[in-house]
């Protein structure tokens, strides 16, 4: 029986939980790895496919706000290209609703979900500048011989930008609803809130390379 060498990893979680940074760190340090970010599939701000709630405001916290058909095509394209690889290949898929889309959820070999509390989430959402640390050097054996942390101060923006009350009225209530909708997926590993992204990165890397 041929060994499996193609792995699809799901990294989800609360908004602003660090999943995008961790996805980038994993992709830079796992061999033959690629990543797909669900945020890249949002429809445009004026797209009529984005549903408006009773208050007339667009709801960006649900699957209907994204082109999931195109995302699935891109995922299947990667799987087709790598399923017969002689070397281990990894696809890191990151996004806050990747497990809510059942056809996509069925493709994962491992699922992770990072939780943070409401207060932390709200504060990070308000913060204008983020510090993003990326580990960019590792040796071929995946043992770090030199690590350089590039600290980038970047402005986090949302398009369209959050209107007053968006977090309280949309982001957090929809997060709780979306989280409830995936409780039947018992194969999701929930990860606790942490400021030690390097430590969490090492943990995820160990689990993934051990698949």
User: Of the residues 39, 47, 55, 187, which is catalytic?
Assistant: 39
39 is catalytic: yes
Q: Which of 56, 62, 170, 183 is nearest to 113 (CA)?
A: 183
Query: What's phi and psi for 170, nearest 5 deg?
Result: -125, -60
Q: How far apart are CA 187 and CA 201, in angstroms?
A: 20
Q: How far apart are CA 22 and CA 139, in angstroms?
A: 19
Residue 43 carries which DSSP code?
A: P
Q: Is 16 left (phi over 0), alpha (psi -120 to 50) or beta?
A: left
> Angle at which helices 172-180 and 118-126 pack, to 10 degrees?
130
Catalytic residues: 39
């Amino acid at each position: 029986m041929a060994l499996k060498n193609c792995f699809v990893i799901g990294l989800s979680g609360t908004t602003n939980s660090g999943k995008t940074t961790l996805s980038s760190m994993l992709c830079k340090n796992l061999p033959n790895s690629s990543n797909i970010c669900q945020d890249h599939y949002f429809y445009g701000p004026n797209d009529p496919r984005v549903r408006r709630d009773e208050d007339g405001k667009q709801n960006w916290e649900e699957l209907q706000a994204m082109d999931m058909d195109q995302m699935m095509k891109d995922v299947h394209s990667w799987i087709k290209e790598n399923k017969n690889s002689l070397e281990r290949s990894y696809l890191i898929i990151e996004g806050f609703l990747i497990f809510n889309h059942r056809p996509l959820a069925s493709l994962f070999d491992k699922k992770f979900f990072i939780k943070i509390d409401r207060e932390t989430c709200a504060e990070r959402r308000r913060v204008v500048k983020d510090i993003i640390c990326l580990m960019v050097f590792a040796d071929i054996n995946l043992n770090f011989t030199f690590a350089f942390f590039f600290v980038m101060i970047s402005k986090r923006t949302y398009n369209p930008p959050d209107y007053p009350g968006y977090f309280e009225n949309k982001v957090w209530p929809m997060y709780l609803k979306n989280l409830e909708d995936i409780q039947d997926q018992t194969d999701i590993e929930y990860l606790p809130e942490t400021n030690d992204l390097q430590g969490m990165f090492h943990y995820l890397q160990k689990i993934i390379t051990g698949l």
